[in-house]
Amino acid sequence: MVDFGMFQGKAEEAKLNFIKPDIDFDKLSAVVLTHAHLDHCGRLPMLVNWGFKGPIFMTEATKALAQIVMFDSAKIAKEDGSKGVIYTDEEVFEILKQVVLVEYDKPFAVGDFELTMIDAGHILGSASVVVKETKTGKRIVFSGDLGNSPEPLISPTHLVSEAQMVVVESTYGDEVHERRDEAECLAQMVEQAEKERGTVLIPSFSIERSQELLYIFDQLKKQGKMSNSVPVFLDSPMAIRATEVFRDFPQLYSAPLKTQVKTDDPFDFPNLVLCDTIEKSKQIKNLKGVKVVIAGSGMMTGGRVIHHALNFLGDPKTQLVFVGYQAEGTMGREILDGKKEIKIWGKTVEVRAQIKKITTMSSHADQSQLLEWLKKIKGLRKIYLVHGEELPRLVLTEKIKQEILDVEVVLPVLNQEVNLDK
Ligand SMILES: [Zn+2]
């Protein structure tokens, strides 16, 4: 089994998290985890009660990040009784005992197959999995999520040279990313906040995105594009822990970051405040004047960003800056779509803040990067498009048919079985 993530978003999809798939888990020989995002690792602890006793292969960085993600989701399930307890801390501890660490580019055996993890360049530790049938040499590749290379923090996506079949993500199959300009955008926003003595509030995902933001502010301060005296609060215990994991794996950094880290910590700079306690978080609202607050969760579905929203959204000097995707049904999406009043903990909050959006910080490959990745694979006959909504999958299918000849494209549906011998 490759990945076992959590369904997120709409209520009817979230219900699927509680349904046991029709799989004999005691007969399953192994699980491979491509990376630590919740939609890939989020249901792994449920395997404990379903009789799976085998190994779960992943890279060391993925393990370090995935355990943060899984413990957090156990905590959220406990606190938010309405959604039901999916699993507990104990089950996360149990499943971690079954983890077997593997390295990039070093093949390992699972039954009649030889597997190799290849750096996917998506987040720290992320991998694509090449599965080779030992007897026939036939290969199928699971892309996992592919990166938007070159990424500022991590090394670029490694390409796969040969395979007959691929199962590839298609999140941005219908889109070409714009040129990266997030550092310039943030510099301008901070400059404006300095003039207005206002707050730049950034709801942010804990893993990768928060570290990218720290790195940008580190650079801006170093280059004199932002005053050293402007305080930046990282108000997310999960993001603080994830930053520690980033510090533990400098060998996985991008080339520029590898050079920088020899003389400077890319995730630390003057007036960075790590809010590891709730008290430090609460004090932020008392601080008058210019400040930057990075707080989870990324789509404002919970976490500390909620009480900052309560305190700062009514102030026209606040700039609320979205740096990632906002799913339908989330508070982030409502505000982004222009809602002028929102309910927080029973209180009505008038949205008078300036609503802004930075679209260039995606950690997913876009249409052209997906096509380039596919074109490098020799012998490719069949492409399964997964991990994308209908429109991106259809648009990407057309593109593949135009640009790559002699391949069959399949758009599988949930629980569909396919015969790989055909
Ligand atoms: Zn991902």
Query: What is the signed CA dihedral for 369, 370, 373, 377, rounded to 10 degrees?
Result: -150
pLDDT at position 128 = 98
Q: Which of 50-59, 74-83, 90-99, 248-257 has the lowest mean pLDDT?
A: 74-83
pLDDT at position 81 = 63
pLDDT digits (tens, 9 = 90+) for 386-419: 999 899 999 999 999 999 989 999 999 999 999 9
285, pLDDT greater than 70: yes
As given in the structure block, the two tokens for residue 43 are 């249901």
% residues pLDDT > 70 (the chain): 98
Question: CA 211, CA 324: separation in Å to the nearest integer?
Answer: 13
Distance 171 CA to ligand 1 centre (A): 10
Question: CA 149, CA 133: separation in Å to the nearest integer?
Answer: 30
Nearest residue to 200 (alpha-carbon basis) of 243, 226, 232: 232
Distance 206 CA to ligand 1 centre (A): 13
Distance 147 CA to ligand 1 centre (A): 9
Cβ–Cβ < 8 Å for 280, 273: yes
Tell which CATH architecture fits domain 182-357: 3-Layer(aba) Sandwich (3.40)
For CA atoms 287, 319, 335, 66, the dihedral sign is negative
pLDDT digits (tens, 9 = 90+) for 159-195: 999 999 999 999 999 999 998 899 999 999 999 999 9
Domain boundaries for CATH 3.60.15.10 within the chain? 11-175+363-410
Q: What is the mean pLDDT of residues 321-346?
A: 92
pLDDT confidence tier of residue 12, bands split at 50, 70 and 90: confident
140, pLDDT greater than 90: yes
| Sheet with 127-133: strands ordered across | 108-110, 113-119, 127-133, 139-142, 165-169, 382-386, 408-410
Report CA-CA distances (Å) from 61 to 33, 157, 288, 316: 11, 16, 39, 41
Distance 353 CA to ligand 1 centre (A): 30
pLDDT at position 364 = 94
Higher-scoring residue by pLDDT: 82, 194: 194
pLDDT at position 84 = 64
pTM of the predicted model as reported, rounded to 2 decimal places: 0.94
CA 141 to chain centre: 21
Helix, strand or coil, per DSSP, at residue 2: strand
3, pLDDT greater than 80: yes
What's the mean per-residue pLDDT of the chain?
Answer: 94
Distance 188 CA to ligand 1 centre (A): 29
379, pLDDT greater than 80: yes
pLDDT at position 82 = 61
Give the burial class of 210: count Cβ atoms within 10 A of its Cβ; 0-12 exposed, 13-18 middle, 19 or more buried.
buried
Nearest residue to 43 (alpha-carbon basis) of 28, 54, 31: 31
Distance 314 CA to ligand 1 centre (A): 33
Higher-scoring residue by pLDDT: 301, 119: 119
49, pLDDT greater than 80: yes
15, pLDDT greater than 90: no
| CATH superfamily membership of 11-175+363-410 | Ribonuclease Z/Hydroxyacylglutathione hydrolase-like (3.60.15.10)
Helix, strand or coil, per DSSP, at residue 223: coil
As given in the structure block, the two tokens for residue 356 are 């802004």
Q: Which residues are near ligand 1, the ion (C-beta closer than 5 Å)?
A: 37, 145
pLDDT digits (tens, 9 = 90+) for 246-278: 999 999 999 999 999 999 999 999 999 999 999
Question: CA 211, CA 226: separation in Å to the nearest integer?
Answer: 18
Domain boundaries for CATH 3.40.50.10890 within the chain? 182-357
Distance 36 CA to ligand 1 centre (A): 7
